[in-house]
Amino acid sequence: RAMDTSMQQKQQQVPVNPWACDEQEHFRRLGVRGQSSIYISPRGLRLFTRTVERAHTPPSACICMIHGYTNDISWTFQNTAIRFATMGYATFAMDIEGHGSSEGLKGFVPNLDFVAEDFYSFFMVQKQDPRYKNLPFFLFGESLGGGICLLVHLAHPQDFAGAILLSPMCKISDNIKPPWPLPQLLTFFSWLAPTWGVVPTKELRPLSFKDPAKLELSLQNPNRYVGKPRLGTAREMVRVTLYLSQQLQEVSLPFIVMHGGGDVVTDPEVSKALYETAKSTDKTLKLYDGMWHALLAGEYDADVDAIFNDIQKWLAEHVEKCNKDS
């Protein structure tokens, strides 16, 4: 009985959301409404989704959101969705396979091309909804999510009005790669035991969140993956980032790419290369001197507000352009 009581106390201490209050009450206070559901992907995976939009006003556009590695849509990432909703946008987000509340071994992502198709099919379902089908749809991705956005775009170049890419993982920074010859050895073993969580890399969150209070909040997320990267996941991220770095010139949709100059997780030089190389004629680069990897979840409030202002300005201009062209 004593052990049962101790377990109950520990369970009660685990926060269910970052606001420490009822989720729906939090939504009501901010004038938004949100719902969650399970989406069955074309390959049969049960994937957890969330939709957030303003409670009483129709949205002006839709934002299709993709989170980063080890993250999920029910913690600090949801604050971004809520903020977009208060701006007048409908947001759709889904936990990547093996992340958050979606099906799959925690932290294991064996094929990112399949993941990109999961997201594409989910977003296209939303696009067919009568409430949204006449609205422009924009991609939004952070870190690995930014890389997945590019995979979605490259496979379906005509289906989105633009993309917002924050610290996109088009190349893994050399600062967090294990030293030679470990990568070659790990690649070999990844084919033998892809689910092993043994890749010796630095803990990313202290390198991503500049604000100590926000770092602490991120560490309280009960759904985050806390193990070492799994061999198969690491191999797949290396494969995809190499592919993306070779396909930057094929990016044709309007986009804004945003990166912290002090980011040691993903390489800001590759965001510069994306801006300089992409064949898109409508592209914007924002580099934030001294900022780290988690631009919206980890910087101090004043800097987060400045980044959101840049995003809102870009979105407003492109929504207006879409409305004129339609």
Condensed to tens digits (0 to 9), the pLDDT of residues 156-177 reads: 999 999 999 999 998 765 654 5
**Is the pLDDT score of 112 beyond 50?**
yes
Residue 14: inside a domain, yes or no? Answer: no
Q: Please confirm, yes or no, whether 67 is among the known catalytic residues.
A: no
Q: Is residue 144 part of a domain?
A: yes
HSE-CB for 44 with a 13 A CA cutoff: 0
Q: What is the pLDDT of residues 282-320, one digit of tens each?
A: 999 999 999 999 999 999 999 999 999 999 999 999 999
Question: How far apart are alpha carbons 38 and 96 in whole angstroms?
Answer: 12
- Asked whether residue 77 is assigned to any structural domain, the reply reads yes
pLDDT in tens, 70-85: 999 999 999 999 999 9
Mean per-residue pLDDT of the chain: 90
Is residue 293 among the annotated active site residues? Answer: yes
Which residue in 72, 95, 118, 263 is the catalytic one?
Answer: 263
What is the CATH classification number for the domain harbouring 312?
3.40.50.1820
Q: How far apart are the first and last CA of the chain?
A: 66
- Is residue 263 flagged as an active site residue? yes
Domain of 269, in residue numbers: 23-325
**Span 217-262, pLDDT tens digits:** 999 999 999 998 898 898 898 889 989 999 999 999 999 999 999 9
Find out whether 68 and 75 touch, Cβ atoms under 8 Å: no
Annotated catalytic residue within 95, 293, 303, 318: 293
Task: State how many domains the chain has.
Answer: 1
188 pLDDT above the threshold of 90 = no
Cα separation, 63 vs 320, in Å, equals 15
- One-letter amino acid at 121 equals S
Is 254 a domain residue?
yes
- For residue 182, how far is the Cα from the chain centroid? 28
Q: How would you list the strands of the sheet with 162-166, edge to edge?
A: 32-40, 46-54, 89-94, 61-66, 137-142, 162-166, 255-260, 283-288
pLDDT category, 183, cuts 50, 70, 90? low
